[in-house]
């Protein structure tokens, strides 16, 4: 009993001591803070809060990607530094999107930090389901100056910002569409270089057809992504003026010409079964040397030179997407971290985002894993990044940056971030399939797709121009 009282008494003294110490520290901190303010300095973001988020469990979700495979190795350090526990689940692309769309649309609080998927960004940001991150950036207690949000390449932020330029996410992955010729040696045998225009592309396909049983061109079946650079290259557009005017513009001579051109690439120069190819199958057709040229995001092109089992490591060459009469419009996209409005741990989520796409973590990803889809210019400009993206002796880093900047400046990728695009994009897939299989001409297929898209958009309440 006495022992117990003694313990309690010494405990109380210790508590009082700690309290005195705490007050003393507090006074010192206050004085230091006042002094700092007096000389115009800003208090550090985590002053005196070494384990600011102790006890917080952060729930994160994204689609599975190599990025998260690398990131999960660093998460224990982040947990140790902040005190929070991170549960980050990754699923297949369609599974994640479906679950998150439902979670966000019902204003759930199950998730604190999510990937803002490129094709859903317009829907999620437009509907107000994702937090505006501008106040977090402007609060010096939440974001230090050197975090530098301007460091993200313009094109990577386009889909993660609203019309006012307010950010709703920060990217961890960027995709830039380029061209790769897996068997560039076949082109060289014919005295040809990588095509830079649509005419040259058709000519190269024509001249290399039948050589060593390699199909000159390959693609996956997501035509509403792959075909758009051709549509725009011929002078066409997807919508009249996205996001303000979503009237489809597919029943035009330009769209018909682009559909005929692309349909011919697939039907005359594609490998058997090309119309049913997934992304992976198209990549495999190049990696195994069964097909030659493809225009697609860099993610699918790097393995041609880097995968140990690639058979085209020594013959692959890279270039920009060929330009049409109206110019070059390579696709670009990005996926970034955002915070659902229903989250109950928003500050912890922001701390995670700052860390996950901060300069230090990004550089580490590059140094330790050669991660190629970097979104921070300060890292892209390093020699290390150039080395990483020097593929088969070719500087692909500069192609990557060029495409990302182009996407940011031109604003031509806005069509893809409007909430209705996934819905009408399927009509484009169907139209291209019809053209490639000879069921319809470009003009017929695009007119039909236009009519179907207009009907769908009207049903969902979108204002469509008459005529």
Chain residues that interact with another protein, rule: CB under 8 A? 63-66, 89, 91-95, 98-99, 102, 106, 108, 110, 271-272, 278-281, 283-285, 288, 290, 299-300, 303, 309
Question: Among all chains, which residue has been given the structure tokens 């209705």?
Answer: 420
CB of 58 vs another protein, minimal distance in Å: 15
- Partners of residue 171 on adjacent β-strands: 336
Among 461, 51, 11, CA closest to 246: 461
Structure tokens at 352: 């995670």
> Which H or E element spans position 376?
none
Q: Write the CA distances from 89 to 72, 96, 115, integer angstroms.
A: 10, 9, 11
Which residues, 6 or more positions from 197, have their beta carbon under 8 angstroms from its beta carbon? Answer: 322, 323, 324
Our CB check for another protein shows the closer of 202 and 374 to be 374
CB of 53 vs another protein, minimal distance in Å: 22
Our CB check for another protein shows the closer of 186 and 194 to be 186
In contact, 338 and 172? CB cutoff 8 Å: no
- How many of the other CB atoms lie within 10 Å of CB of 125? 25
CB of 109 vs another protein, minimal distance in Å: 9
Measured between alpha carbons, how far is 5 from 273 in angstroms, rounded to an integer? 83
Which residues, 6 or more positions from 198, have their beta carbon under 8 angstroms from its beta carbon? Answer: 230, 233, 234, 261, 322, 323, 324, 325
CB of 91 vs another protein, minimal distance in Å: 6
Our CB check for another protein shows the closer of 66 and 196 to be 66
Our CB check for another protein shows the closer of 124 and 250 to be 124
Our CB check for another protein shows the closer of 63 and 152 to be 63
Our CB check for another protein shows the closer of 6 and 278 to be 278
DSSP 423-442: HHHHHHHHHHHHHHTTSS-H
The DSSP bridge pattern shows strands 57-63 and 113-116 to be parallel
In contact, 322 and 111? CB cutoff 8 Å: no
Our CB check for another protein shows the closer of 64 and 451 to be 64
Our CB check for another protein shows the closer of 66 and 141 to be 66
CB of 272 vs another protein, minimal distance in Å: 8
Dihedral (C-alpha) 409, 353, 66, 221: value to the nearest 10 degrees? -40
In contact, 182 and 287? CB cutoff 8 Å: yes
Structure tokens at 251: 């029943």
CB of 170 vs another protein, minimal distance in Å: 18
CB of 327 vs another protein, minimal distance in Å: 29
Dihedral (C-alpha) 357, 360, 361, 366: value to the nearest 10 degrees? 110
- How many of the other CB atoms lie within 10 Å of CB of 35? 10
Our CB check for another protein shows the closer of 290 and 376 to be 290
CB of 312 vs another protein, minimal distance in Å: 13
CB of 457 vs another protein, minimal distance in Å: 22
Angle ∠(449,268,253) on CA atoms, nearest 5: 35
Our CB check for another protein shows the closer of 46 and 275 to be 275
Alpha helices in 106-251 (DSSP H): 118-126, 134-138, 154-157, 184-189, 198-208, 223-226, 228-233
CB of 284 vs another protein, minimal distance in Å: 4
């Amino acid at each position: 009993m006495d022992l117990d009282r003694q313990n309690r008494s010494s405990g109380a003294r210790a508590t009082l001591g700690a309290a005195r110490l705490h007050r003393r520290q507090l006074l010192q901190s206050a004085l230091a803070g006042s002094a700092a303010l007096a000389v115009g300095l800003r208090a550090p973001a985590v002053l005196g809060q070494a384990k600011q988020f102790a006890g917080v469990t952060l729930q994160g979700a994204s689609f599975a990607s190599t990025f998260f495979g690398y990131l999960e190795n660093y998460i224990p350090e982040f947990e140790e530094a902040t005190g929070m526990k991170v549960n980050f689940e990754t699923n297949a692309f369609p599974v994640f999107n479906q679950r998150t769309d439902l979670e966000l649309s019902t204003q759930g609080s199950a998730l604190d930090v999510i990937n803002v998927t490129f094709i859903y960004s317009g829907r999620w940001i437009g509907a107000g389901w994702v937090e505006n991150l501008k106040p977090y950036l402007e609060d010096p207690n939440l974001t230090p100056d050197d975090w530098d949000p301007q460091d993200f390449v313009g094109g990577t932020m386009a889909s993660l910002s609203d019309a006012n330029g307010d950010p709703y996410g920060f990217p961890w992955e960027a995709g830039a569409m380029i061209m790769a010729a897996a068997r560039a040696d076949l082109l060289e045998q014919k005295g040809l270089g990588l095509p830079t225009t649509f005419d040259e592309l058709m000519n190269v396909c024509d001249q290399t057809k039948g050589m060593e049983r390699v199909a000159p061109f390959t693609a996956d079946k997501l035509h509403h992504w792959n075909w758009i650079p051709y549509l725009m290259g011929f002078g066409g557009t997807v919508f009249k003026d996205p996001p303000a005017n979503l009237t489809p513009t597919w029943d035009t001579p330009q769209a018909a010409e682009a559909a005929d051109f692309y349909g011919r690439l697939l039907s005359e120069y594609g490998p058997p079964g090309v119309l049913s190819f997934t992304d992976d199958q198209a990549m495999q057709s190049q990696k195994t040397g069964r097909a030659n040229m493809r225009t697609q995001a860099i993610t699918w092109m790097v393995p041609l030179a880097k995968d140990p089992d690639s058979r085209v490591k020594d013959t692959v060459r890279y270039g920009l997407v060929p330009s049409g009469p109206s110019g070059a419009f390579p696709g670009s996209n990005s996926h970034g971290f955002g915070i659902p409005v229903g989250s109950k741990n928003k500050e912890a989520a922001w701390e995670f985002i700052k860390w996950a796409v901060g300069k230090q973590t990004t550089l580490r990803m590059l140094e330790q894993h050669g991660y190629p889809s970097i979104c921070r210019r300060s890292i892209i400009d390093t020699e290390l990044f150039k080395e990483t993206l020097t593929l088969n002796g070719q500087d692909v880093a500069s192609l990557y940056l060029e495409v990302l900047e182009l996407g940011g400046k031109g604003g031509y990728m806005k069509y893809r971030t409007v909430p209705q695009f996934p819905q009408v994009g399927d009509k484009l897939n169907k139209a291209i399939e019809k053209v490639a299989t000879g069921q319809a001409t470009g003009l017929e297929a695009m007119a039909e797709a236009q009519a179907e898209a207009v009907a769908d958009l009207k049903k969902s309440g979108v204002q469509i121009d008459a005529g």
